[in-house]
Structure 1
Amino acid sequence: MDGSETTRAQVPGTAAFSKFVAVLQIIADAPEELGMAELVARARMPRATVYRIVAALRAEGFLGEADRLVLGPRLISLASQSWAKFDLRALAKDDIQHLRDITGETVHLAVPSDIAMVYIDKLESPQAVRMTSRVGTRVMLHASSVGKAYLAALPDEERAALLSRLKLPRMTPQTITRRKDLEEALKRAQLQGYAVDGEETEPGIQCLGAAILNRSGRPVGAMSISVPKYRFDPAAEARYPELVMACAARISAHYALTQGPAAD
């Protein structure tokens, strides 16, 4: 994410706060530790402004000390308290662990966040090749299996309104960048019961995702399995979709029993 990516409406009087949040988000989203020069370039703010923001975030414990641009202990503590209270994450824990264990592949749990999805849990594959994602990573709705699964499960009017806000940036050579193509992919997801990310977010990684629904059938999140392309053989291609859909259905059933339509 850079300073121009979000289309969220800004509340009057919060411009300075929004800059702090933007800098934090860039650091959190980066797959590798950033240097100050790269942070300034991605933030698209004056260098002096970025330096002041970083200094203030370090003083409050939101960034690490010294010269490292990493999330700090205070922010991690706040996040840990939030995750501990997150009902969907707790409800899904056993089901996504079962899926990870029987496939040996990475499993993600995600929730919507404005025009993106955020991973709230990740169970890593025990095998050698893994994904670079982590809890807290934001992925684009149009380029991820969790995003497309969530979009496909939305009511028509809500989906159309959300699609109208998406810019469809290219993440890899395989990313869908035309609305017509995205709508066709969402129709396939609706018919199949799962969505596909064919190396659209991360080269060499194939993902299958399914929506998690509340009692009234509204999507509250999505989960996915991520497989290196060389391990996504015909046997996996035939077996994994049913496993993903079954996992999402179990989580949905648990969620419906405890949350019900109150999540609308």
Structure 2
Amino acid sequence: MSKSPVHLLVIANFAKPGVREQVDRLRPWFAQRVAEVSVASVGEAVGSAADTAELCVVLGGDGTLLWAARALAARGVPLLGVNMGKLGFLADYSVEHMQKHFDDVVGGRIAPTERMMLSVRVGDGGEARFCSPAANDAAICAGEPFRMIDLDVQQGEHCVAEYFGDGLVVSTPAGSTAYNMSAGGPILEPTLDAVAITPIAPHSLSQRPIVVRSDPPIRITASRINEGTALIVDGQVPVPLRAGDVVEIHRHDQPMRIVPHPGHSFFSTLANKLQWGRSPHRSG
């Protein structure tokens, strides 16, 4: 068997049952097929391996893949997600299917698709005190003592709305099936160049979700918030907010590149994972 010259990076969530055993089993299998194999654990620095990696296999679940997408955001490394968690919406491969299609992936016969990411910045008008990419969403949640909060939203020079409620979710198309959907927001086809702005429990019948283009930047001013109000990136990175803070969100320079499962479409995944579009009159 001839090897591909690809440098493969494996990012694994070793906290999940069975992941360490799979990595130990797969590492020699990968080594027979690619020139170099590096392994990193989720939550740790990926180091210099990320600089030369040409493909990243992510072993864990959707949360692990989101972490990997942020860690590799500046490099544009294609991500192949292997689901060893629960839902597996983004991490769409099983171990068996990954092995079946791996040679086609490294041989370029299965091309990655691009999914827009966000760049999130928090500041008070001066230098930013927090910056991060986001693959799924940036959510502002009211927090303790759980009173409603006021958020003023602008895009470019235009006022979008003043939201009064429990918070706000700004979602990428890829993330529209996560917190955004749970909050009543729309599902977006994942290759769209757009974002969904979805209020969380708004105290108004007129404040509904809206889909806008990904530029110019969205600016959210925390006009009145609680002591526990926080920005949460991808459901994983919390950032405490202060009154007067401005959260600026715009399209990231690099997209997330996902290796699609050749046997699954977006709509079949919606139906199989989330029961979307299923008729209540049809069983099975």
Instruction: Please say whether Structure 1 and Structure 2 have the same fold, judged by a TM-score greater than 0.5.
Output: no
Tell me: higher relative CO, structure 1 or 2? Use CA pairs within 8 A at least 6 residues apart: 2
Q: What TM-score, normalized to structure 2?
A: 0.23
Q: Which has the higher helix share?
A: 1
Q: Which has the higher strand share?
A: 2
Look at both structures and tell me which one has the larger radius of gyration over its CA atoms: 2
